[in-house]
Amino acid sequence: MTSPDRWPEIRGIAYGGDYTPEQWPREVWREDVVLMREAGVNLVSVGIFAWALLETSEGVFDFEWLDELLDLLHENGISVDLGTPTASPPAWFFADHPDARVVSRDGVTMGFGARGMASHASPAYRAAIVRIASALAERYGSHPAVVMWHVHNEYGVPVGEDYSEQSVRAFRGWLRDKYATLDALNTAWGTTFWGQRYGEWDHVGAPAAAPSVVNPAQRLDFARFTDHQLRACFVAERDAIRAHASQPITTNFMANQSWTTDLWAWAREVDIVSDDHYLWAADCEGEIGLAIAADLSRSVGGGAPWILMEHSTSAVNWQPRNVAKRPGEMARNSLTHLARGADAILFFQWRASRSGAEKFHSAMVPHAGTASRVWREVVELGDALGRLEEVRGSRVAADVAILWDFESFWAQDLEWRPSVDVSHAEQIRAFYERLWRDGITVDFALPGQDLSGYKLVLAPAQYLLNTADAANLTRYVEAGGTLVVSFFSAIVDENDAVHLGGFVAPLRDALGIVVEEFLPLREGARHAVEWTGPASARLLADAWQEDLVLHGAEVKATYVDGPGAGKAAVTRHAHGTGHGWYISTRLDAAGLRTVMSDVYADAGVAPSDLPEGLEVVMRRGDDADYTIAVNHRDDAVALAASGVELLTGAEVEDEFLVPAGGVAVIRAPHIP
Amino acid sequence: MTSPDRWPEIRGIAYGGDYTPEQWPREVWREDVVLMREAGVNLVSVGIFAWALLETSEGVFDFEWLDELLDLLHENGISVDLGTPTASPPAWFFADHPDARVVSRDGVTMGFGARGMASHASPAYRAAIVRIASALAERYGSHPAVVMWHVHNEYGVPVGEDYSEQSVRAFRGWLRDKYATLDALNTAWGTTFWGQRYGEWDHVGAPAAAPSVVNPAQRLDFARFTDHQLRACFVAERDAIRAHASQPITTNFMANQSWTTDLWAWAREVDIVSDDHYLWAADCEGEIGLAIAADLSRSVGGGAPWILMEHSTSAVNWQPRNVAKRPGEMARNSLTHLARGADAILFFQWRASRSGAEKFHSAMVPHAGTASRVWREVVELGDALGRLEEVRGSRVAADVAILWDFESFWAQDLEWRPSVDVSHAEQIRAFYERLWRDGITVDFALPGQDLSGYKLVLAPAQYLLNTADAANLTRYVEAGGTLVVSFFSAIVDENDAVHLGGFVAPLRDALGIVVEEFLPLREGARHAVEWTGPASARLLADAWQEDLVLHGAEVKATYVDGPGAGKAAVTRHAHGTGHGWYISTRLDAAGLRTVMSDVYADAGVAPSDLPEGLEVVMRRGDDADYTIAVNHRDDAVALAASGVELLTGAEVEDEFLVPAGGVAVIRAPHIP
Amino acid sequence: MTSPDRWPEIRGIAYGGDYTPEQWPREVWREDVVLMREAGVNLVSVGIFAWALLETSEGVFDFEWLDELLDLLHENGISVDLGTPTASPPAWFFADHPDARVVSRDGVTMGFGARGMASHASPAYRAAIVRIASALAERYGSHPAVVMWHVHNEYGVPVGEDYSEQSVRAFRGWLRDKYATLDALNTAWGTTFWGQRYGEWDHVGAPAAAPSVVNPAQRLDFARFTDHQLRACFVAERDAIRAHASQPITTNFMANQSWTTDLWAWAREVDIVSDDHYLWAADCEGEIGLAIAADLSRSVGGGAPWILMEHSTSAVNWQPRNVAKRPGEMARNSLTHLARGADAILFFQWRASRSGAEKFHSAMVPHAGTASRVWREVVELGDALGRLEEVRGSRVAADVAILWDFESFWAQDLEWRPSVDVSHAEQIRAFYERLWRDGITVDFALPGQDLSGYKLVLAPAQYLLNTADAANLTRYVEAGGTLVVSFFSAIVDENDAVHLGGFVAPLRDALGIVVEEFLPLREGARHAVEWTGPASARLLADAWQEDLVLHGAEVKATYVDGPGAGKAAVTRHAHGTGHGWYISTRLDAAGLRTVMSDVYADAGVAPSDLPEGLEVVMRRGDDADYTIAVNHRDDAVALAASGVELLTGAEVEDEFLVPAGGVAVIRAPHIP
């Protein structure tokens, strides 16, 4: 078995979606392939929820229908991403193995009838997933239709943590591996607090519902364990497939939508990063969340092209109010993903289901059929993607990185933090949004990685920062980098234990400050900050202030009112040949613009002068660079560019008018 | 045993309430009967929560106190509605049969100490209810005081669904009866979705808490099963009573307050429909909800007189803020029920309890005693009802029907619908309220019944509509009827599976439209609709728009803004000799008035020209018709009428001035 | 063994806090004692969460570290309040005794990992707490550092009620002791309601989750039982200690923060009352809640000096937004407690924890170390307390009492009361706040106690009032007292059964009214009351009105609008030589000022004329009286006084200027 290719054998940009013909009679299958060809579909994912059909009781397989399906698809030139159905074991599995059911934190045993999620720690489940994955790979490893493997579905949702006996046992084993001795565990968890010291390994359990708040280090380790367990399940399936098949293997992430899996670690295990992305309908600027998800998908994969494994042609079904996409919105979404590195644009799902929990989820073929706006746009998008074949493989480059660290999020999300108004997701969105409006392309990064390629690094939500990573950030500044740290960062170490010497002490050299005390505000309280830059101004902020102690930093802004009145609010520190900025309050959008404007100057980063709402990203290829402009505005915008606009074929000299709601992809010679 | 009379042997309008003398010493019993006579009480319900007193351990009965009570009542000319106490089994029952406890969806076993609700599926419970019902009927079947039997209490509340092992087993049996084969079940439930296909009957369970949303068809069947189980319990008791007693048998419904039982099916099993009704205190126009409940009670019974089994003299105790009734309000409520078909006006309860969960519930004899406003009004009401004896047996006629289908509500109330802003209860209330304000009397109806007697049929919330019922509605239009369908109707079939061919497709012929896509709005979003009738106007709406495809319908209104801007919002379609209207958004009250005004013209229905707040309903007898006018206003209103006003005895010529807050009942010769 | 002294052997005002050196290495211990001496700390509480370290498996003790610690503290002149660690049993205890875990009302078994709360009814737990308490007392009963014993921690939180099998069994035993016969229980609980009558003791259980609202008398008894069980645990430990040690024994209450324990009963069992108090950060006037807690702590102990066992130097960690204290606030808080009778000012905790659930809780030594505002203020406070040594032992006197009855609160907090807008805590706060702003010092009292020493007694929330206590209040009025009763008082007896004869009937003689009916208002409704005193005025009110029946009372105010329009709202009744006032609605602050102004005149109570925000309380000693003035204002306020200001040593003639945010303690000769 040799190492597989990292991209499926498929021509151009992949286009298609989840395909569940098992829900339909054979005549619909035949209609499907005709329609797929009409739409330019070249890749479909099959089998993801088909375990009960493929293995009708333990070890009894029925592959006939799948044989027929794969042959039909192959005959029609449609490639297959073949799923393992392990996200939803059959009813017989749970009947045979009742102790493989997931138990909630409150002790509720999860029943059958939804997605039949099983305990990741159950030996029976581990055996079963290897059996079905092996059987599929053995049978279809050489099928010409199969160009990729799709393991499981959305690991970590709808449930991740499992409090069953099986899981508790596995947790104990994981802890022994991690800590070797109980003394080490007791120290890491700080079990002297509230008298929790363990004298026997068998006394250590999962952090189930308890009379009060459970040890946060225990909960953080349980989050790590859960992530590790799920990944171990993936690895078991992946290796089972690899024994019989050489196509690339992936599983679909949920970047920026679920935080239960550490995508950095997962990206190391998959051949290709895949992501599912759904707009949050209540957000009128959902395209910003989309851009975050896309950039994160690209970043965890080290910048390699990735697969948009699922998104929706229009509304989803699981939000409180499932807003339909407006005309053109599906294409803008799709091409934004492509602009940010996706070389495959796939949907959940091909044909809308008549039955089940997700029947009101939109699809490429809607309930209304092909005489519909959605279908017309699906065909148009297939055509557009066909014109972008050459973009495939080109890469996005960024000068700016925002730190994104799942372990820190897990720790911050535990109970009894200083203020419920502080959210990692909101802080990252605020800084990302500023950069997005300023037309600056961003990577996400880990605090411990090599950051030397970035002119600017932001840490809006790095609550957990170990000392090694803090040293890495300090070296980054020393060597000339510009670092922006927002409040409630660098507070605890890897065991959720407070760093001593004043909050933020691990970054004291880089920032020239420490924090003596947090000053959270009452609900709804707002306050002003006096900005002392060249353009003196009053900035507005809320939620949080701090009592800063200066250790060399220059004060850039001062609290006008609130508990911190008169004290430093924003500081800048020269360290080595770089600068460390610290923002100790939650600025509003205008305030952040003012501060970031000075930060850009330090970092040598140039914000774009395009009107807000024209989203522009460049993908760089070996021979050509592609400027992709997505116009979210209601008016056309002139973009300075020269080259060829690929969607229209137009020759562009100096300027291209991107239509209202439209997209342009302009090829120009590569500038290395 | 011959078929019993359909109305209890009692003179005039029945008046009284639940009577629980077991809570009081004997001297209070004697005071009670004196007061009952003072108030004109002629019917009381007894024994409803007396199981523990009647059967002190399994098979050991103590009837002495009840003998004494019934004799005392009989001596005083007060008839008895004798209850079976099966809504609350004794403590010994649960001690003997711990597996008869109800289990919640989350797996919590319900304890004793409230109403002792048992598992409807428990064989021990089934045996016990037959035993106590038989024993009561045997002993009191010929007692002269007993004129009616009252089985159980408010089936379906406080809990209906039961997830105990007993219930799961019974559910499996019910499914086998319904589907015969697992293939049929798998098809109906769409179990290929999310890999739920069943290979063994024993693997099928109740839709308990699961990692995600449970199969909606399974949940719908579980709702049907629950309703069926409860009804089977009723039938078992009813038949046990019937073996020894010939009086009519009823059980008290909760129309418009609980939706867990299919009252259409229940009404077929009882001899007389009874209803409990309580105002919702937060609703400043609770009389509209009352009217809905009364009309529904009448409708499920096919128009026959019914019993208001419980309402309150003043405040209840179980709402967040239990608002007391204002002077005169109890009489208005009572006589509104009577106007809408009730020939018995009963209360919960006769004398306010000192102890227990409901001690702050008002009663006919309040805690303050008889020197109280409530008692004075109770006596006055008894007097008023005495004057209305002749109204008994007359019937209400309506030209308009609103569809009310519990199965559809059960289906619509499941998870993951397009928008949480869409509620069947709210939609029905909105249309009913319009008709109420327009002085139009309404029946409720099932979509599959004979509708030919109605000039106008409204379907504000018919989410589930099977094809046969859709054909019935189409025939109704064809034959000259006017049908009004509101959005999110005719979406799924009896298995909660989407009808293909565009939403609302089953009514395409009747309405001349289908719906390509739902366009739910964001929270709080409002929009305008341009009305193109003779009186062109801008109507306001919210929550929902749709992408309508016209198949012959005329556009009556167009979306001005929002995602549907420029598209049809309201349509009218000529089909056969009738008309089908479709309203694709949630209009506000003024908007609905505008649209319904044109609908009335199509249907030949005439709205009243009385001032809003004067509620007028006519009951038609063999010899006389009775116009009952309830004045909810703060001023007197002149009502055009001639005849005799029964409450005052006044001769009315042309006009009667209904006093502020008062009621008039005017007899006129019957016009056939 | 002789009766112990009632105050620990310690010089002056005790100062210090919880000390958990087990969380730190030995070098920190040595730094700690140096810092304690710098701050003037003379008392620390140790061992409270150290069970797992002291008894490493059943019966195996390790006292070495504690020996070392106590010796170190003693060498440095720091006394010890030695805790028993029974609030958090070790992991091995639960492993050995899994049935000792607490079960929630919903049946969830509480896990380990927080505070390891055990079932108070578990025989194994009872044995274990006696074993560890005895072992500690035996070893340290004569240790010279130990001046006090601290049993357990905050009984009743985080959980009080326990629904485990062990607890149910104990509940049954407690009920047999209380009622002797099942008949008595059935009568007290009113079990004829909803058919709950018990025929066997074994059928009686805890009021666990049930299909509807559980019997309120059963729940009230379960609350009493829970309180009794917890106290029995305390007594067991106390007696185990007393067998070996003679120092005073206490446990820390949570006055005005938790209502699960009856502090009046607890105060009878402890040698000294201790209280933990934390500001509620969302309350901008948290000092009022603090004053309530302090007055309650003093009152339950019969006026004796008490210990502020825990408060915080700055923010806590368990509220939604943990607001830090402003400069000077910690001293104001501390000295307010002292003003209201505390002779010990202690904190949770000495040194901020690095790990665990409470690491963001402030401490005397903050994370930032000693170069911090908090530490500087800790040292200053130690210095100030040193100057107040002579205040120790003096007592607070009050002319006014507010009734505070935990049993009544337990009953009122049950389900299905007339309105969710009625809260005992809010009602007490409203009246207390009025008195606080008027500069009137208040005791709390039980309705059955001797009240003859008070000029004015208020009953803002005496929902449960038995007839004997009602007679006591009536005698109080008769003998010349002034009684103010607010709505929803005197409603039920000790079994939560309604008093007959109109609500409030037990106080009819004292108040000259009864209440015919409650008139709760809809959410948000406001209304006006016409005040008919000398200064006629419109007062504003909300939430509640009543239908009052006068039996001799004079009408002081009348409802202008709302359901009670035209009826009496506030009444005053002359009875004997005193007066009974009744306030039947929830007045706003201005309205209450108007009414109370007349009440003061009746009672002969003089409100202060100091500006609002200068809180003044007097402590009276044998030789001197101490006027303690806490200035919560932003400006200095002149206080009329003569004597010596102890904090500054200044001689005061006629007037002392209390600085903004500052405190003054002025000694003057005692006036008996």
d(CA C69, CA C3): 28
Query: Measured between alpha carbons, how far is residue B612 from residues B432, B640, B641 in Å?
Result: 14, 15, 18
Provide the pLDDT for residue B130.
98
Q: How confident is the model at residue C605 (pLDDT cuts 50, 70, 90)?
A: very high
Counting as low any pLDDT under 70, the low residues of chain A are 1-5, 533-535
Spatial contact of B562 and B527, defined as CB atoms under 8 Å apart: yes
Domain C14-391, CATH number (from 3.40.50.2000, 3.30.70.20, 3.20.20.80, 3.40.1160.10): 3.20.20.80
Interchain contact, B23 vs C417, CB within 8 Å: no
Q: Is the pLDDT of residue C663 over 80?
A: yes
Provide the pLDDT for residue A5.
52
* SS3 annotation, B175-195: HHHHHCCHHHHHHHHCCCHHH
A14-19, strands of its sheet edge to edge: A249-250, A146-150, A79-83, A43-46, A14-19, A342-347, A306-310, A274-276, A252-253
Provide the pLDDT for residue A390.
97
Q: Is the pLDDT of residue C130 over 50?
A: yes
d(CA A278, CA C389): 67
Provide the pLDDT for residue A6.
84
Provide the pLDDT for residue C3.
39
Q: Average pLDDT in the B511-517 region?
A: 98
- The chain-wide mean pLDDT, for chain C, equals 97
Provide the pLDDT for residue A435.
98
Which residues from chain A sit within 8 angstroms of residue C323, using beta carbons?
519-522, 563
Partnered with residue A555 across adjacent β-strands are: A571
Preferred mutation among C112, C120, C372 to probe A, highest tally of A CBs within 10 A? C112
Interchain contact, A53 vs B197, CB within 8 Å: yes
Determine the distance in angstroms separating the CA of C279 from the nearest CA of chain B, rounded to an integer: 29
- The domains of chain A are located at 14-161+245-392, 400-603, 614-669
Q: Average pLDDT in the C148-175 region?
A: 97
Spatial contact of C101 and C162, defined as CB atoms under 8 Å apart: no
Which residues from chain A sit within 8 angstroms of residue B216, using beta carbons?
355-357
| Strand C55-57 relative to strand C43-46, pairing | unpaired
Provide the pLDDT for residue C116.
77
Provide the pLDDT for residue B532.
87
Q: Average pLDDT in the B119-131 region?
A: 98
Interchain contact, B114 vs C215, CB within 8 Å: yes
Q: Which residues of C are catalytic?
A: 154, 310
Provide the pLDDT for residue C1.
33
d(CA C273, CA C248): 10
Whether pTM > 0.95 for this model: the answer is yes
Determine the distance in angstroms separating the CA of C32 from the nearest CA of chain A, rounded to an integer: 16
Partnered with residue B55 across adjacent β-strands are: B61
Q: Is the pLDDT of residue C106 over 90?
A: yes
Determine the distance in angstroms separating the CA of C324 from the nearest CA of chain A, rounded to an integer: 6
Interchain contact, A373 vs B517, CB within 8 Å: yes
Cβ contacts below 8 Å, chain A against chain B, sum to: 203
Q: Is the pLDDT of residue C314 over 70?
A: yes
Q: What share of chain A is helix, strand, coil (3-state, %, to 5)?
A: 35, 25, 45
Spatial contact of B510 and B606, defined as CB atoms under 8 Å apart: no
Provide the pLDDT for residue A449.
98
Q: Is the pLDDT of residue B525 over 80?
A: yes
| Strand C663-669 relative to strand C624-631, pairing | antiparallel
Q: Which of A23, A95, A324 sits opposite B193 (nearest CB)?
A: A23
Preferred mutation among A103, A163, A164, A192 to probe C, highest tally of C CBs within 10 A? A192
State the CATH class of domain B400-603: alpha beta
Spatial contact of B88 and B117, defined as CB atoms under 8 Å apart: yes
If one counts every other C-beta atom within 10 angstroms of the C-beta of residue B138, the result is 14
Interchain contact, B90 vs C199, CB within 8 Å: yes
Provide the pLDDT for residue C6.
84
Q: Is the pLDDT of residue B533 over 90?
A: no
Residue for token pair 């004079």: C554
Which residues from chain B sit within 8 angstroms of residue C418, using beta carbons?
315, 317, 321-322, 360
Amino acid at the residue A352? A
* Segment C384-431, tens digit of pLDDT: 999 999 999 999 999 999 999 999 999 999 999 999 999 999 999 999
CATH topology of domain A14-161+245-392: TIM Barrel (3.20.20)
Determine the distance in angstroms separating the CA of B458 from the nearest CA of chain A, rounded to an integer: 25
Interchain contact, B210 vs A111, CB within 8 Å: yes
State the chains in contact with A (3 or more Cβ–Cβ pairs under 8 Å).
B, C
Using alpha carbons, select from C586, C589, C587, C583 the residue that is nearest to residue C568.
C583
Among chain B residues, CA nearest to A117: B211
| Strand B544-550 relative to strand B513-520, pairing | antiparallel
Amino acid at the residue B365? V
Q: What is the second-level CATH architecture of the domain B614-669? A: Sandwich (2.60)
Interchain contact, B102 vs C203, CB within 8 Å: no
Determine the distance in angstroms separating the CA of A459 from the nearest CA of chain B, rounded to an integer: 33
Q: Average pLDDT in the C165-174 region?
A: 98
Interchain contact, A421 vs C321, CB within 8 Å: yes
Provide the pLDDT for residue A307.
98
Query: Measured between alpha carbons, how far is residue B210 from residues A116, B105, B214 in Å?
Result: 8, 9, 7
Interchain contact, C197 vs B102, CB within 8 Å: no
Among chain A residues, CA nearest to B163: A111
Provide the pLDDT for residue C5.
52
Query: Measured between alpha carbons, how far is residue C34 from residues A312, C31, C353, C641 in Å?
Result: 66, 5, 19, 39
* Segment B15-43, tens digit of pLDDT: 999 999 999 999 999 999 999 999 999 99
Helical ranges in B262-317 per DSSP H: 263-269, 286-300
DSSP state of A659: P
Residue for token pair 């760093």: A499
* Segment B251-267, tens digit of pLDDT: 999 999 999 999 999 99
Among chain C residues, CA nearest to A501: C368
d(CA C21, CA C311): 19
Residue for token pair 């997933």: A129
* Segment B33-86, tens digit of pLDDT: 999 999 999 999 999 999 999 999 999 999 999 999 999 999 999 999 999 999
Among chain A residues, CA nearest to C323: A520
Using alpha carbons, select from A424, A167, A503, A197 the residue that is nearest to residue C356.
A197
Q: Which of C90, C315, C355 sits opposite A195 (nearest CB)?
A: C90
End-to-end CA distance of chain C: 37
Which residues from chain A sit within 8 angstroms of residue B503, using beta carbons?
367-368
Determine the distance in angstroms separating the CA of B19 from the nearest CA of chain C, rounded to an integer: 11
Interchain contact, C209 vs B108, CB within 8 Å: yes
* Segment B334-388, tens digit of pLDDT: 999 999 999 999 999 999 999 999 999 999 999 999 999 999 999 999 999 999 9
Which token pair is A495? 């065991």
Q: How confident is the model at residue B5 (pLDDT cuts 50, 70, 90)?
A: low
d(CA B80, CA B68): 13
- The chain-wide mean pLDDT, for chain B, equals 97
| Strand A586-587 relative to strand A537-542, pairing | antiparallel
* Segment C46-96, tens digit of pLDDT: 999 999 999 999 999 999 999 999 999 999 999 999 999 999 999 999 999
State the chains in contact with B (3 or more Cβ–Cβ pairs under 8 Å).
A, C
Domain B14-393 has CATH 3.40.640.10: no
Q: Which residues of B are catalytic?
A: 154, 310
